[in-house]
A and B are shown apart, each in its own frame.
Chain A
Amino acid sequence: QVQLQQWGAGLLKPSETLSLTCAVSGGSFSGHYWSWVRQPPGKGLEWIGEISHRGSINISPSLQSRVSMSVDTSAKQFSLRLTSVTAADTAVYYCARAGWGNLDIWGRGTQVSVSS
């Protein structure tokens, strides 16, 4: 079955760039959008954005100025970059597969903490 494995730096200083990658195994990479969602400690879920296998991107307006996404179809990987992080960006970051917008497969999450 499809599995998502994600990785990236877990501890950042303010103003640094968050960089996470998610690898897809066990299924097709094309025909889906690949998403990022975050969850601050003790809070709810926040949709960050998504990218298709062709590189078509949709990003939350609240993060658009700081977010970029990329895809490596041959490696079946997709990545998130978030620039100029602050303590407010401290969260668990999840990658997920978007079926028709619903998120049916999730990675295990990466805890990212921003602290000086």
Chain B
Amino acid sequence: AIQLTQSPSSLAASVGDKITITCRASQVLRSAVAWYQQIPGKAPKLLIYDVSELESGVSSRFSGSGSGTEFVLSISSLQPEDFATYYCQQYSDYPRTFGRGTTVDIK
């Protein structure tokens, strides 16, 4: 199975900060990477699919990039509602796999 390693596992930031989260895959992926946001007690929410495509209704302060084995989620200006846990997922191969998550806390 393809392993996804997210870094950092957690970070503290302030409202207005720009942050980036990295997802490294154990093998080269097609452009089949998604990013999800999860607020405690809620289901995950799709933010980005196909590496860089913004899901309908998601704020443009979220963006995705990358290729090969390294992928990045960026949040341009953190808002209070963005403090959550973020997961990457690959759907380049079966079984589908997720990264272990990055928790973004308020500094």
Chain A residues engaging chain B, CB cutoff 8 angstroms: 35, 37, 44-47, 49-50, 58-62, 94, 98-104, 106-109
CA A58 to CA B100, docked complex, whole Å: 22
Evaluate contact between B98 and A44: CB separation under 8 angstroms: yes
How many A-B contacts at CB < 8 Å in the complex? 63
Q: How large is the interface on B (under 10, 10 to 19, 20 to 34, 35 or more residues)?
A: 20 to 34
Given contacts A45-B87, A46-B98, A103-B44, list 11 more A-B pairs with CB under 8 A: A35-B96, A44-B87, A45-B101, A50-B96, A60-B95, A61-B95, A62-B95, A101-B96, A102-B91, A104-B46, A108-B43
Chain B residues engaging chain A, CB cutoff 8 angstroms: 1, 32, 34, 36, 38, 43-46, 49-50, 55, 87, 89, 91-92, 94-101
Residue A61 contacts which of B1, B32, B46, B92 (CB distance < 8 angstroms)? Answer: B1
Contacts A61-B1, A94-B43: A104 and B49 contacting too (C-beta < 8 A)? yes
Considering residues B89, B92, B96, which has the most beta carbons from chain A within 10 angstroms of its beta carbon? Answer: B96
Q: Find chain A residues with CB under 8 A from B43 CB.
A: 94, 106-109
Residue A100 contacts which of B1, B36, B91, B99 (CB distance < 8 angstroms)? Answer: B91
CA A108 to CA B38, docked complex, whole Å: 12
Q: Find chain B residues with CB under 8 A from A49 CB.
A: 95
Q: Find chain A residues with CB under 8 A from B49 CB.
A: 99-100, 102, 104
CA A98 to CA B98, docked complex, whole Å: 14
A80 to chain B, nearest CB (A): 15
A34 to chain B, nearest CB (A): 13
B68 to chain A, nearest CB (A): 18
Evaluate contact between B98 and A47: CB separation under 8 angstroms: yes
Evaluate contact between B34 and A102: CB separation under 8 angstroms: yes
CA A47 to CA B97, docked complex, whole Å: 6
Q: Find chain A residues with CB under 8 A from B1 CB.
A: 61
CA A47 to CA B89, docked complex, whole Å: 10
Evaluate contact between A103 and B46: CB separation under 8 angstroms: yes
- Which A residue's beta carbon lies closest to that of B56? A104
Evaluate contact between A106 and B96: CB separation under 8 angstroms: no
